[in-house]
Amino acid sequence: MARSTKRRQATSKAKPAPARQGGHEHIILEGLVPHMQAFNLPHEIYCARMGKCYCTDGHVVTSYRSPVDHKVHLRVKERKNNSVLTIRYRRRVAVPREALQCPEVAAALAARRLRVRS
């Protein structure tokens, strides 16, 4: 029994290696300010480096009144929204290393609002 207890303790202390999904190494970012932070991951930078688009589809609905029949009509446009990374205070999030190339994430690291954990 002592042997199985030791084995269980040894496995619970082991830290997993950084995840690799789709050939991209992940890093861990930790928020250092006491509020939620949201970072825009531009399509031209993030998705281009990842080799796949992670942007979300969205819809914009606008209304207008027709001058001919004076009825209100709705117009729906589809658009792509950039990816957004949100990090809370003292929470750790695994993200692909390519996220460090985004200007908002790089600025937050320089201002010490984020920390890269290993």
Q: With helix as H, strand as E and coil as C, how does 60-106 read?
A: EEEEEECCCCCCEEEEEEEEEECEEEEECECCEEEEEHHHHHCHHHH
What does each C-alpha distance from 104 to 11, 24, 41, 85 come to in angstroms? 37, 20, 8, 10
pLDDT value at position 114? 93
> What digits encode the pLDDT tens for the residues 69-97?
888 888 887 767 777 888 889 888 888 88
Which residue has better confidence, 35 or 81?
Answer: 35
Q: For 37-53, what is each residue's pLDDT tens digit?
A: 988 888 888 888 888 88
The pTM of the full predicted model, rounded to 2 decimals, is 0.60
